[in-house]
A and B are shown apart, each in its own frame.
Chain A
Amino acid sequence: MSDRARLLLELADDELILGWRNSEWTGIAPFLEEDVAFSSIAQNEIGHARALYELAARELGTDADALAFDRTLEEYRSAPLVELRRLEWARTIARHWLYETADAVRLEALKASDDPEIAGLAAKMDREETYHRIHAEMWLDRLLAAPEGRTRLEEGLRELWPYALGVLDDELRPVFVERVRARLPFELPEVEPVPRGRHEAELEELLGEMTMVRRSAPTGARW
């Protein structure tokens, strides 16, 4: 597989898996606005995943659905950060903010890519991601503003920090770390990143659920 296809799959897998995780708040978020927000963010992320898979599929001679649903657990390239299942609000916000901050660094680099398809798609995705970032920053400020929120957020960020460091490669990671440090009123520890390529136990369960319809109707489900 080419470096280009591998990159596209990494991006697509991150967006697909995080989209699924975000959608787990549909119906049970702390209030209605956040039901709507996380559902909408999930829809955007899965839309990005589809476009990225389509680009990869053209190169790999397959189609987007096959890449999204028919690979084995080991073949997924998602970052462990997006695989974790943390249905606790402060941890959800911690992951949301860490991912969007890392993703912004990655999109800036991709927009400057000399591959016009990748640069164009990154620019299009970035238009929508702007709203995700505004939402994540708003929630970071909200949680930081009250003692309980701050305590819970800090716990969540400390727990997720090694995972967040694994989203970007060695070249882009320092920019991300610098932005996180500049934004937070407390220090995060120096730790080793949890790298891409190994998977959290939760991913297997998620893939089982995600591919259920596909497996039960291999020729395509009709509604």
Chain B
Amino acid sequence: MVTAAAVWEALAEIPDPEIPVISLVDLGVVKDVAVDGARVRIAFTPTFMGCPALERMQACMKEAVRDLGGEAQVDVVLDDSWSTDKITPAGREKLREAGFAPPAPRNAGKTTLVQLQAKAFRCPYCGSTETRLDNIFGPTPCRSVRYCESCRQPFEQFKTI
């Protein structure tokens, strides 16, 4: 007998394919799980639309449900219900520990260049806020590149969307 709780637990074990320190549940991309006998429906909200990890995430979720003895259907929700605010507090902490500065909260309003250039972003290595924007874009769609003037390390900042 597959239960929704067991599915959530299994999904919380799946690492993000690109940033494996964080799980899919931490990332906030699992919007809903509905169980009917062995049939499981997962509502999945993609992060960045051009992210090549999205297909891998879906395959991993199906596999995890299969391991529980169920069969999953993944419904991709293409609206703006995912934002970086959906990353859980535990997920943010794991990102920081792995050297990614977590995203700034969305409630700061519309993102502007002035905001991105502000020093408010904290270096995940030394904690300094003496940091500057190096590039709005980074190695994957979800990241910007910043530089810490205190410990002289470049670091990756999760974009707020």
Contact = CB atoms under 8 A, between A and B. Distances in A.
Interface stretch (A3-11, A39-47, A164-172, A194-202): A39-47
Interface stretch (A69-77, A92-100, A117-125, A148-156): A117-125
A40 B137 contact: yes
Interface in B129-150: 134-141, 145
B161 A130 contact: yes
B80 A134 contact: no
Interface residues of B, number: 25
A24 interface: no
A131 B79 contact: no
B49 interface: yes
A124 B78 contact: yes
A117 B110 CA distance: 23
A50 B49 contact: yes
B78 A48 contact: no
A33 B116 CA distance: 16
A128 B141 contact: yes
A158 interface: no
B78 A51 contact: yes
Contact of B80 (A33, A39, A127, A138): A127
Nearest to A42: B50
B141 A123 contact: no
Nearest to B50: A47
Contacts of B79: 116, 119-121, 123-124
B159 A47 contact: no
A51 B112 CA distance: 26
B119 to A, nearest CB: 18
A36 interface: yes
Nearest to B139: A36
Contacts of B137: 33, 36-37, 39-41, 131, 135
Contact of B136 (A37, A43, A126): A37
A124 B78 CA distance: 7
A104 to B, nearest CB: 12
A55 B83 CA distance: 21
Contact of B78 (A46, A117, A134): A117
A33 B135 contact: yes
A134 B113 contact: yes
B51 interface: yes
A36 B135 contact: yes
B50 A44 contact: yes
Contacts of B112: 134
A120 B81 CA distance: 9
Interface string B23-62: 0000000000000000000000000111100000000000
Contacts of A33: 134-135, 137, 145
A128 B48 contact: yes
Contacts of A47: 48-51, 141
B88 interface: no
A55 B78 CA distance: 10
Contacts of B161: 127-128, 130-131
B111 interface: yes
A137 interface: yes
A46 B49 CA distance: 9
Contacts of B159: 131
Interface string B97-125: 00000000000001111001000000000
Given A121-B78, A124-B49, A138-B136, 8 more contacts: A33-B134, A36-B139, A37-B137, A40-B137, A123-B79, A128-B48, A134-B113, A134-B136
